[in-house]
Amino acid sequence: MRLKLSLIAVLIAGVCAAPVSQAQECCWSSVGPPLSPLRVDRSVFSLGVFDDGGGPSLYAGGEFVNASGRVVNRIARWDGLFWSPLVGPSGTGVNHHVRAMTVFDDGEGEALYVAGDFNRAGGLTVKNIARWDGTAWSALTVQPPLDSGTIHALAVFDDGNGEALYAGGRFSIGARPASIVKWDGTTWTADFGSFGGAYHDIRDMVVFDDGSGPALYVGGFFTQVGSQPMNRIAKWDGTAWSPLPSEVDGGNVFALRVLDDGSGPALYAGGNFTHAGGRLVNGIAKWDGTTWSPLEGPAGVGVTGEPVAVVHDMAVFDSGTGPALFVVGLFTGAGGQTVSNIAKWNGEAWSPLPGQGFPGLSSDGYVLHAFNDGTGSALYAGGRFSIAGGQPADHIPKWLCLTCSTRPDLTGAGVLDADDFFLFLQWFADGDLRADINFDNNIDADDFLEFLDLFAQGC
């Protein structure tokens, strides 16, 4: 025992108050308590972050019923350690799929707005959308004027009359097909023209300034608004719709995101289309306000796969080397490189997300979102897959790049000292998930030995 204590004292003294080094290691990790049953039992379609006053938490929505063995009914809250249900006055979760969520202040404080194709939330009667304030569900004071259909996207936009919540999808108002409605906290507005073509779905929305002022861009399956041609993307400036000067062709738009790769903010569109502005782009393209351009790799353009490749979502995330665009969907190539349904674009080149011999996800990915659960900023992925980076993932893993400052520096002080060491001992003894240093979802001797090794290196 005396020898062990002496060894610990040497380890602590050797790095006491020493700045941590910054070597980086990236890996996939499951989301859920170690040794728990299936973390999420079916597909995840939507992710969002909301602070109910007790700190930010990640919310996941989709078609799943259970999370870590608990009945949650299609939506659950992750606090970094455990999944918990959203319970209402006479029920838990919602009665059908969750497709979208965002935070909006309707005048009564910020709340998480959750949308999809459900009509019950916490046991309350709703119409495709409900409000969660962190402790309770509530229906909106006025239900949306929807008679059937699905809300696929939510976005907050100020059209000059104050911030409002826009809901896009494929639904009907009476006998009229509709694609977008607006909620200002007291009133719904539905007069946004008729989206048409073979389909009229809106699948995503984002606010982007192309140099003429912020506007709401919507993407989907439509080919016209009213009598005006608008192929899959349209711009709403608060008073009127307008098309982009050049079109997206050969498929539909599923995702929109804004990234500044160092050359200024640009709008990125993802989907299963083949061309944009007359150029071959294969599922993803960049709009700088004037011109479409492809995302090219050394041996290919955009994303590829058989029989067809599709981008379902995109997220901006900084893994330690600067903000980059992460892309998820169903594809096996990106810029000519072999990937598996997820890839990274840094503004100049494509790269896979490394794992243990497997460069991505085992099946369709539907959604991405950045969140820090206390172990460092990470990129969370949701979808239909069960494996990520060669490890069991159960529909929602996280991908993070660790430096020594996010591993043995447990206090986040920027130095390694006795405080870090004894905090690890406490977590390890308690079986706390934060002691899972090697991220294999087990707390065991391997974690203890890896911590000692990293701590001794001052790394």
Res 76 pLDDT > 80: yes
Query: For residue 434, what pLDDT band results from cuts at 50, 70 and 90?
Result: confident
What's the pLDDT score for residue 404? 47
| Cβ-based burial of 250 (10 A; exposed 0-12, middle 13-18, buried ≥19) | middle
What's the pLDDT score for residue 9? 37
Left (φ > 0), alpha (ψ -120 to 50) or beta: where does 12 sit?
alpha
Q: Tens digits of per-residue pLDDT, 83-111?
A: 999 999 999 999 999 999 999 999 999 99
User: For a pLDDT cut of 90, what percent of the chain falls above it?
Assistant: 67
Q: Which of 48-62, 265-279, 353-367 has the lowest mean pLDDT?
A: 353-367
Contact partners, residue 394, CB within 8 Å, separation at least 6: 30, 32, 38, 39, 40, 41, 386
What's the pLDDT score for residue 77? 96
Q: Tens digits of per-residue pLDDT, 176-200?
A: 999 999 999 999 999 999 999 889 9
Query: For residue 390, what pLDDT band results from cuts at 50, 70 and 90?
Result: confident
Residue scoring higher pLDDT (408 or 234) = 234
Q: Which of 156-165, 397-406, 440-449 has the lowest mean pLDDT?
A: 397-406
Three-class secondary structure of residue 319 per DSSP:
coil
Q: In whole angstroms, how large is the CA radius of gyration of the chain?
A: 23
Res 10 pLDDT > 60: no
Res 6 pLDDT > 80: no
Q: Tens digits of per-residue pLDDT, 239-269?
A: 999 999 888 999 999 999 999 988 899 999 9
- Work out the mean pLDDT of the chain and round it to a whole number: 88
Three-class secondary structure of residue 32 per DSSP:
coil
* Residue among 214, 219, 216 at smallest CA distance from 230: 219
Average pLDDT over every residue of 430-450: 79
Task: Give the span between the Cα atoms of 324 and 379, in whole angstroms.
Answer: 11
Residues across the chain: 459
Res 16 pLDDT > 60: no
Contact partners, residue 326, CB within 8 Å, separation at least 6: 314, 315, 316, 317, 342, 343, 344, 345, 353, 368, 379
Q: Tens digits of per-residue pLDDT, 319-345?
A: 888 999 999 999 999 999 999 999 999
Query: For residue 415, what pLDDT band results from cuts at 50, 70 and 90?
Result: low
Res 456 pLDDT > 60: yes
Res 7 pLDDT > 60: no
Start-to-end Cα distance in the chain: 26
